[in-house]
Structure 1
Amino acid sequence: MRSLTRTALAERGLEAVVHADHLVTVDGRQFGLTTLGSLCRRSGGSERWAEVVSRWVDDLLTNFPAEPAPLTPDQIRAGVHLRLVQLDAEKARWYRHARPIGGGFHEMLVHKDGDYVRWISDRELEGVDVAGTHALGRQRLLEIEPDDVEVLTKRDGVTMCIRGRSGFVASKLLVLPELLHQIAPQFEFSDGHLVAVPSRHELVVAPVTPAVDDCLEALELIAGYDYAHDHAPISPRVHWWHEGRIHPLFDASVPGRTFFPDVPAEFRATLARNRGEGAA
């Protein structure tokens, strides 16, 4: 897929350097490969990938014919939103304003203009009231409403599937207490919540209760399936959300529900207590 993308760009007069999850063209534009990977996966077979890649590149170059100019402070204020993103160490160096919340996820300021979203760089934030801009982006995220909230129950376990056409639905994990107060004010639990963000369009939440194993099973099934089939996947992992931080528990795309070795001892104790066990 990377090779096809590099070839397609070269055929259109743009040389590019290929990285693991993105390409950088000689004029500085960066093209992420996550969405393209999903399109290829859903295309019906690798023999169609060249066609998919060609169409994707043409669409991108039509919408972004040149490196976009830096955003002005007024433009940032007009379109800023908070977004849940994944950053590796290399990318994090370029977005130092992004706040890590655990599990490789960060809370980042992005600019939304219609259907197009771009990350706001540290350079563009120079001279900008970052705290005020962050508050504005948070408010915009709060104002985004999901299209559907499905509540699944099994015994005493409750799992909420929050979905929508907006690519910011998963990002509402960043405002989880406010979200739950809006959609399920009756659920307030001190042991935190099990969460999954299989795609940009879905957030799955289950409060940790004595029915925790039923909820773990539900999140495992939903996260594993929806990550594999949605066109904008984020992560197949199930996490524990507690006091604003997320801790990866296991990969739902791997059969067997094997917990990661670095699962916090605090969660293991919480799990044991809710199971009624005497020790973690």
Structure 2
Amino acid sequence: MGIFRRRRRDDEGAGPGRPDPAAAPVVPDEALPFLGVEDAQHLRGLVRTAFAERGVEVSVHAGHVADDSGRQFGLWNVAASCHQDDRGRAAWPALVGTHVERVLASMDAPDPFADLSPEQAATRTYVRLYERDAIPRLDGFPHREFAPGLVEMLALDLPDTVAVYDDARAARLGGTDALRAHGLANLHRQPVEQLERLDLPDGGGAFQVLLGESVHTASRALLLPRLATELTGHESGRHGWLLCVPNRHQVAWHLVRDATVVPVVQAMARFAALGFGDAPGPLSPHLYWWDGGGYQQLSRLDDDGALSIVVGPEFQLVLEELTGGS
């Protein structure tokens, strides 16, 4: 398997909010690596100012800010939104202000579970994927491991955000198993916003990508392989499928059938790493393979951003069978 490095958006060419390729290389910020150090510091200043203008003093850290009560507010999502806006820095103050207002409104809002009936909960509950490392603790919250580095939890859909169920709320509103069944059914009823087939050059295979503005888009990975069959007409075989969920707005898969799995593995691994690195709601930079009983992680990112493929014995047997041992 080939080994390659993550390509940053910095080298895609000049444009609003992007450096000139002819200029000196931009040093990436350690906490917000899709921004240069200077841009990241500028963003942190904007966030601090936005909170102050709304009466909240915060201390600024590399990846978050914190108020006097200990509440922490992450910077990744707002930084990714600014990074992706083609208008450049001029648009950042408004983007940051809107983000801070939304965050503060959600913190000060009344408990969304307080007056909820089990019947109402059934229509608004979703099973949702979360990055494991982004959750300080899981004790007291219904959850399951979905794949290495990813957990599924129960979330109540609100107009502008979601609220996660704890054990007590889940018990009062029907129980974890019933709510999970409702959550999967609600995921299945989500509209398909955009489905793309990404074809590799020279007949090197293809993989499917489902994209959407919904924060539940990536969580539809929980519906595989049924999702693949319904959207493409193809059923999974005994070799399973490849999966990546870079961020909450993307889920990609490939049904493993033939030797094209080799170039597809590399393409999807790169897709996952890039999609994780510069989008709101990051989930996982890794590629996974369904082995018939669970997901195995196939990719690895080193501290310097180098991306490599790591094949276990089970997947190695699949590759040898499909490629004739070559």
TM-score of the pair, normalised by structure 1:
0.80
Partner in structure 1 of residue 108 of structure 2: 66
- Correspondence for 1:139: 185
Runs of 5+ consecutive residues of structure 2 not aligned to the other structure: 1-42
2:221 corresponds to: 173
Q: Give the SS at the match of 1:68.
A: coil
Judge which range, 129-138 or 88-97, deviates more.
88-97
Displacement after TM superposition at 1:82 (Å): 0.8
The residue type paired with residue 154 of structure 2 is L
In 2, the alpha carbon distance for the partners of 1:96 and 1:245 equals 22
Evaluate the alpha carbon distance shift between residue 195 and residue 163 of structure 1 in structure 2; reply closer, same or farther with a 3 A threshold. same
Q: Which residue of 1 aligns with 2:298?
A: 249
In structure 1, what is the Cα distance between the partners aligned to 2:102 and 2:60? Answer: 19
% identical equivalent positions:
28
Could you tell me whether the CA contact under 8 Å between 2:149 and 2:284 is conserved in 1? Answer: no
The answer to whether the 8 A contact 1:92-1:98 is kept is no
The alpha-carbon deviation at position 108 of structure 1 amounts to 0.9
* Structure 1 stretches of at least 4 aligned residues deviating more than 6 Å after TM superposition: 17-20, 44-48, 252-256
User: Which structure has greater strand proportion?
Assistant: 1
Corresponding residue of 1:107 = 152
Write the mapping of 1:203-242 to structure 2, written as runs, cut at 5 A.
203-208=251-256, 209-242=258-291
Give the equivalent residue in structure 2 for 1:200: 248
Residue in structure 1 matching 2:141, options 96, 102, 126 = 96
On the 8 A contact 2:207/2:264 being kept in 1, the answer is yes
- Bigger CA drift: 230-239 or 125-134? 230-239
CA distance, structure 2, for counterparts of residue 40 and residue 137 of structure 1: 31
Offset at residue 7 of structure 1 (A):
5.5
Instruction: State the secondary structure of the residue aligned to 1:243.
Output: coil
Structure 1 residue identity aligned to 2:147: G
Report how far residue 188 of structure 1 moved. 1.8
Offset, 1:166: 1.8
The residue type equivalent to 1:274 in the other structure is L
Q: How far apart are 1:95 and its partner, in Å? A: 5.1
CA distance in 2, matches of 1:92, 1:268: 35
Within a 5 Å distance, the mapping from 1:11-50 to structure 2 comes to 11-15=53-57, 25=67, 31-42=73-84
| 1:84 equivalent among 129, 133, 138 | 129
> For each residue in 1:190-229, what CA deviation from the matched residue of structure 2 results, as whole angstroms up to 9, or x when unmatched?
1221111122222111122321112123314433444445
Residue in 2 that maps onto 1:162:
210
Query: Could you list the runs of 5+ residues in structure 1 that have no partner in the other structure?
Result: none
Q: 1:130 to 1:183 in 2, by over 3 A?
A: same
Q: Work out the CA distance in 1 between the residues paired with 2:301 and 2:96.
A: 28
CA contact (8 A) 1:28 1:67 kept: no
Counterparts of 2:140 and 2:89, CA distance in 1: 35
CA RMSD of aligned residues (A): 3.4
Q: Note closer, same or farther for the CA distance 1:39–1:151 as it changes in structure 2 (3 Å cut).
A: closer
1:39/1:212 Cα in 2 relative to 1: closer, same or farther (>3 Å)?
same
Q: Does 1:5 align with 2:47?
A: yes
Q: Residues 19 and 244 from structure 1, CA distance in 2 versus in 1: closer, same or farther, beyond 3 angstroms?
A: farther
Name the amino acid aligned to 2:317: A
**Distance in structure 2 (CA, Å) of the matches to 1:204 and 1:187:** 15
Larger RCO (CA under 8 A, 6+ residues apart) = 2
Cα deviation, 1:164-190, whole Å, max 9, x if unaligned, reads 222211111111122012113333221
Q: Is the 8 A contact 1:70 1:124 kept in 2?
A: no
8 Å Cα contact 1:146-1:166 kept in structure 2: no
Matched AA of 1:236: P
Task: Tell me how far 1:80 sits from its aligned partner.
Answer: 0.6
